[in-house]
Amino acid sequence: MQSVAEALDRLGELAASTTVSTLSAAFDRAGHELALVGGPVRDAFLGRPVHDLDFTTDATPEQILEIVKPISDAHWDIGRDFGTIGARVAGETVEITTYRADSYDGKSRKPDVVFGDSLEGDLVRRDFTVNSLALRLPKIELVDPSGGVEDLIARVLRTPSAPQTSFGDDPLRMMRAARFAAQLGFEVEDGTLAALEELAPEIDRISAERVREELSKLLLADRPVPGLRILVDSGLAQRVLPELPALRLERDEHHRHKDVYEHSLKVLDQAIDYERARGKLDSPDLVVRLAALLHDIGKPATRRLEPGGAVSFYHHDVVGAKLAKKRLRELRYDNDTIAAVARLIELHLRFFGYTDGAWSDSAVRRYVRDAGSPEQLERLHILSRADVTTRNKRKADMLAFAYDDLEQRIAELAEEEELAAVRPELDGEQIMAALGIRPGREVGEAYRFLLELRLDEGPIGEDAARERLLAWWADRGG
């Protein structure tokens, strides 16, 4: 946290930048107010990098366009109905929004867009006091009608108006509370927390797409677990991601098992650490984080209390993959993300068989083949390693050494035979030519035979593959 004087100095430097000064001068010449608002001002106080430049003004969208056209490299009005105009000024992307005073009507999933008439009125309708700060331009005046600076110093999240009013206006703000708590490392003020629990059912009024975006932003935070705990404890997760609170399985005095909820949060934390340390994926990686969080969601449905106090979760990997597909579809995630997450969940137990006995080269090839792309294989490496949360150091070390060995074998085989691109040594055209058949089901069966042969024995050459194919064909009476 920077001091107020340091933050104002930093804001002064930002106001003097080419982009901000060009905009402020243009709006001033046109006789309109302009203020830098929200995240950039907040982050100046926190000492965080300033990325997005958001402005607010008394000008209407039409007037904003008139002002920015002469000074911008490009401009767009895709958010015009909501009062927002985008532009690229001096090489930086900016968004400028007319003062707003809109709210939800309690029934619709979209707000009624109403333009406001003052900067202070715009600020007090925002989500949290720490985001209700503005720098009035060009005179460089800090505007803080709700005590946002004091809350930044105290590292507290609270709403500018009564939380029931704020969350009633836009229920998605409840999920933002969890997200900002995770991103900023802030505590949610007690009255605001109580309102989250009271109004959690109101999140049902928000579209799945907006919920998905907020959940994704939370998961992509440096440390999302505190925000996830807020979602679960408030009851919000029960409405948007019920599989997560369902992991808090009941126990009894006879049957004991690992706390699946706490285990899943630990796996997510560890997956993030591996994601960063290994450096082979673009970080943060949403697929890794979704898979880590959801990898055990099949356990509640598959839990069985066995004689002697044991608890089993047979096939929770397969069940969990199906549940993840269903939930992510309902949240309107794209098909590629859904398929990637579900596949990782389905495969997350595969490695643990490696410690039962040395895998053949064929088994290693199948592990790579089943993962899919090199990117998916790296995600599977991360998830498998992160899934080890035992406090038994000897066991943890044994599993880590085993996975080191598996990765080494994968690397060696890949170097020998380009494992990442495993495919039969004859393609479909060559199969049809060798067997004298036309396109159809039998070509696919022959292809699968040759793929299994490739996985079992490695590269044997086209001639040998053709001989084996002809023998297989003869055995089936072809």
For residue 384, the model assigns a pLDDT of 95
CA angle 328, 220, 124 (to 5 degrees): 100
- pTM of the full predicted structure? 0.82
Cα of 352 vs its chain's centroid, Å = 26
Quick one: average pLDDT of 402-429?
81
Please name which of 57, 56, 64 lies closest in space to residue 38, comparing C-alpha atoms.
56
* HSE toward the beta carbon, residue 396, CA cutoff 13 A: 8
Check pLDDT > 90 for residue 309.
no
| pLDDT at residue 389, as a whole number | 92
The predicted structure's pLDDT at residue 361: 85
Q: What's residue 307's pLDDT?
A: 74
* pLDDT tens, position by position, 71-130: 999 999 888 888 899 999 999 999 999 998 755 555 554 556 678 789 999 999 899 999
48 phi/psi in degrees, rounded to 5? -90, 155
Q: Domains of the chain by range and CATH?
A: 1-150 (3.30.460.10), 155-241 (1.10.110.30), 248-421 (1.10.3210), 428-475 (no CATH)
Q: How does pLDDT run across 223-272, given as a tens digit for each residue? A: 999 999 999 999 999 999 999 999 997 554 434 556 899 999 999 999 99
Specify burial of residue 122 (Cβ count, 10 A radius: 0-12, 13-18, 19+): buried
pLDDT at 252: 47
pLDDT digits (tens, 9 = 90+) for 436-461: 888 888 888 899 889 888 888 888 88
Output the pLDDT for position 308.
Answer: 66
| 135 within 8 A of 39, measured Cβ to Cβ | no
pLDDT digits (tens, 9 = 90+) for 156-198: 999 999 999 999 989 999 999 999 999 999 999 999 999 999 9
270-291 mean pLDDT: 95
Nearest CA to 190 among 226, 230, 223, 217? 230
